[in-house]
Structures are given as structure tokens and as C-alpha cells.
Amino acid sequence: MANKCHICLLGLIILCPLFTGINGVEETRVFCSFGEDVILPCNNALSDCNSTTWNYSRNRNSAAVELFAGGMKKYDIKRHERLSLGSNCSLNIDKATEEDHGHYTCLQYVNKQRHGNDARVLLHVLHIFPSSTQNEIRPGNSVTLSCQLYSHDGVSCDILDHTEGIQLFWVNQAGANLQTDSRYLISSSGHCNITLTTTLLNEDNNIEWRCQVNERNEVKTSASYTVKYLGPLDTPITPTQVIVIVVVIAALAVLIPAVVLSVICRKRAENRKGIDSSMVTYKDEYKGTYETINISIPTTPSANGQTDVVTYCEVTASSSKQMKKNNVHSYDKVTYATIR
């Protein structure tokens, strides 16, 4: 029993620096979700950031990498373009990724001498991974979402839960814990990972599920996943829609024959009107025409000085034809009035 107590005590001694820092210096925890901009405070900053140095290490056992020295950025690091110093010497990280999690230390140097206590920051990054491709996000298919909290390397979430009260939850848009809903299968692993598995329904389109991090029952950050279906959904037809469809079909069954009959009647009427018009034109052709033509030929002198005058004073031609049933009476009249 005594040996077990010694082992437990030894474990607490090893883990204690992870949460309280070295030399009694407390470590500030910062939580963010993947893709967010994050600010790490420098709690020991002096009035001038020229004395500020920022170091980074994935865990306490790995070698530290200088990000800033004397207020100047180090450009030989991979993510230098996403790092900058704030006005209060804070370290700003644009669009944080899982590679950014770990330990950060803000140090102050005056005349090349280390000044004051170090300010330590532990950055946690939350990220959701869909296990299915977009083409599989369809009603009736199963989907699994994995939520990972990147924190201490080698430290499980069980330890974080017992020592710091850090927990992961899957919640809906209203913030209700999905652990109590039988439709969802929630499982967790010891490496700060919690998964959600469910079968998609039609009404899940555009729905949002969130993975949430709580520290001692206080929400620190969350990452969301929104369901997006690619094409139109096969929605069931309701009884009301069936009634509407039947009424429309019945109305069309009455309306279409009426329209066709109306068109046929109009066409027949137009055909009869065309025949009557043709008959009138045929009658008018036999009423006769009358024309009057006045022609004169200029006089030309002859060899003995006399002139011959030829004048066609008037030529009138008339034509008149009459038709009565089967008997046809027709006559032409030509009148030559005067010729000199």
C-alpha cells in the first residue's frame, strides 16, 4: 500500500509542473478553434517591446525555438508569416492550426540580462474532422465527426478533466448536449478526441453541430460543422399536396376539352366567312367595266403645206355579264364615237 502511495505522489510531482509552471510561475491557458486568430498575452511585458523574446516548444521536454528576439521576428521559421507582435507585446497568431498548439514563453531581457519572471502560455487548438466525403453527405447515409483538442503532448484528457476540469461535448445549435439523445452515438478516447456518429435525415440539411470545450463548466471555445447536401432532396408528398394535385388534374380534364372545342368552332366560323367573301367577289366580277380613252395624234404638214388631222375623240368599251343560277346571260358592248 505504501508503494502505491509513493507512486501516486511521484506522478503528482511529475504532472504538477505541467499545470502550474516551473518555479511556481502559473501558466495561462488559451483556447481557440482551427482557423481562428488568437492572441497570447505577455504578462511580464515592459514598456518597450524591444526587450521581449518569445520562445515556443511543443512540450516541455523539447527544445525551444525563438519566434521573436529583442522585439524582432525570426524569419527562418516555417510559420513566420502568421506571427506578429501586438502593442502590448502579445504574440498574435493568424489562422491558428493544430501545428500551433503547445507551450509559449514570453521573456524580458534588459542589458542582455534576463529580467523578472517568465510569462508562460499554453495554447489549445480545437479541430473537427469529417470522416465522410461531401458526396457521402446524403440523407440515409451514416456520418462520423471527430473532434480533437490539441493540448499537452502525452497528456490525456482524463488527466486534464481531473486536474483542470477540461471536458469536450457535442452540442446542437441550441446548446443542448447530444450525449442524452439516443439518435447520436458519442464516444471518446484518452487523447482528447470525441466522435459523433449518426444517420442523416432530410431535415438535417443546413443543421449545425458543435464540438465544445468547457473548463470548469465555462465554455472556452467551440468548433462547428454544418451539414450541406449537394442536390435537391427527395421529400415525401403530404396528403395536402396529393389533394392539390388531384384538383389540378380534374380542372385540366375539364378545361382542355373546352378549349379544343372553342378552337374548332372558331375555325369553322372563319372557314364559312371565307366562302361567303369569295362568292361576293365572284358576283362583282360580272357587273361590267367601263373605260374611256382619249387619244390624239399631232398634225404633221404634208409636202404641199396641208395638214392632215386624225383624232380619235373617244373610245368607250363596256362589258356586262349576268349569271342567274344555271342560265348565263352575257353581252359585250363597244362604242366608237367619232373618228376623223
pLDDT over 50 at 142, yes or no:
yes
The answer as to whether 177 is a domain residue is: yes
Same domain, 135 and 207: yes
Same domain, 32 and 119: yes
Task: Looking at mean pLDDT, say which of 99-113, 247-261, 263-277 comes out highest.
Answer: 99-113
Could you list the beta-strand ranges (E) of the chain.
27-33, 38-40, 52-57, 65-69, 72-73, 83-85, 91-93, 102-110, 113-130, 142-150, 166-171, 185-189, 193-199, 208-215, 218-226, 289-296, 300-301, 307-308, 311-324, 327-339
Domain count, the chain: 4
The answer as to whether 231 is a domain residue is: no
Per-residue pLDDT at 34: 96
The answer as to whether 222 is a domain residue is: yes
Task: Point out the domain boundary residue: 58, 88, 123.
Answer: 123
Same domain, 24 and 117: yes
Same domain, 60 and 100: yes
Same domain, 277 and 292: no
Residue 98 domain boundaries: 19-123
CA-nearest of 158, 86, 148 to 121 is 86
Same domain, 201 and 157: yes
The answer as to whether 273 is a domain residue is: yes
CATH number at residue 77: 2.60.40.10
Per-residue pLDDT at 37: 97
Task: Point out the domain boundary residue: 90, 123, 156.
Answer: 123
Same domain, 292 and 279: no
- Which band of pLDDT confidence, cut at 50, 70 and 90, is reported for residue 250? confident
Same domain, 308 and 333: yes
pTM attached to this predicted model:
0.62
What does the block give as the cell for 93?
497568431
3-class DSSP state for residue 277?
Answer: helix
- Among 177-181, 215-219, 258-262, 321-325, the range scoring the smallest mean pLDDT is 321-325
The answer as to whether 339 is a domain residue is: yes
Per-residue pLDDT at 321: 46
> What does the mean pLDDT of the chain come to?
77
Same domain, 309 and 264: no
The answer as to whether 35 is a domain residue is: yes
Same domain, 95 and 189: no
- Which band of pLDDT confidence, cut at 50, 70 and 90, is reported for residue 326? very low
Residue 33: CB atoms within 10 A of its CB come to: 22
What is the four-CA torsion angle of 263, 264, 269, 274, rounded to 10 degrees? 100
> Euclidean distance between the first and final Cα of the chain, in Å?
164
Q: Is 140 exposed, middle or buried (0-12, 13-18, 19+ CB in 10 A)?
A: exposed
Same domain, 182 and 196: yes
Same domain, 102 and 173: no
CA-nearest of 209, 183, 191 to 130 is 209
The answer as to whether 6 is a domain residue is: no
CB distance 137 to 228 below 8 Å: yes
Task: Point out the domain boundary residue: 104, 123, 142.
Answer: 123
Q: Is 66 exposed, middle or buried (0-12, 13-18, 19+ CB in 10 A)?
A: middle
The answer as to whether 13 is a domain residue is: no
